[in-house]
Structure 1
Amino acid sequence: MAHTLKIVYFAWVKERLGRDGEFVELDNDVRTVGDLIGRMSSRDPAFETVLKDTGKLRFALDQNFVDLNASIDGADELAIFPPVTGG
C-alpha cells in the first residue's frame, strides 16, 4: 500500500535543491531509504547531483539515524543532511 512521506532537507542539501522539504507519494516498490534516494535521483537532475554521493549525506527516519538499507515502511518523515561537525 502506497503512503505519503515528508522529506526534510538541511544545510547545503536544502540550498542546492532550493527547498526545505516536500511530501512524496511512495510507490509500493520503494521499500528502503536507498530505493527512495534512487527514485528521487532519477526524477530530476538537481536531485541526481545533490544525492549522487550518499557517503556525504546522513539520513534520519522519524528522527532516528539510519542507513540506506533502512525500511521506510510506516515512517512519517525522512531527513537528509550533511554530517555535522563541531568544535
Structure 2
Amino acid sequence: MEYVYATLLGLVNLAFLASVAIGLPGNWLIVAATGAFAWWRWDEGRPADEQVIGVVPLIVMAGLALIAEGLEMFSGLVGAKKAG
C-alpha cells in the first residue's frame, strides 16, 4: 500500500509543480503535501532514518524551496529593472 500512497503523492506534487506556471506557490505546496504525508505515515516505533520520508529530506526540500523563492524574486527584480 505504501507504493500506492507514494504514487498518489507524486501525482499531487506533479500537479503542484504545474501550478507554478500559473503563479501559484507550487514549491511550498509540494513541501506542505510531503510534510503532511510524512506526518501521516510516521511510525513511532521506527528510527527517524527508517521512516517513509525522514526529517532530513523535508529540511532539504524546504531549503530548495527557499532558494527557488529567492531566485524567483531576484529574476523578477532584474526583469522589472530591464522593463523600466
* TM-score normalized by the length of structure 1: 0.24
Between structures 1 and 2, the one with greater strand share: 1
* TM-score normalized by the length of structure 2: 0.25
Between structures 1 and 2, the one with greater helix share: 2
- Rg (Cα) greater in structure: 2
Structure of higher RCO (CA pairs closer than 8 Å, 6+ residues apart): 1
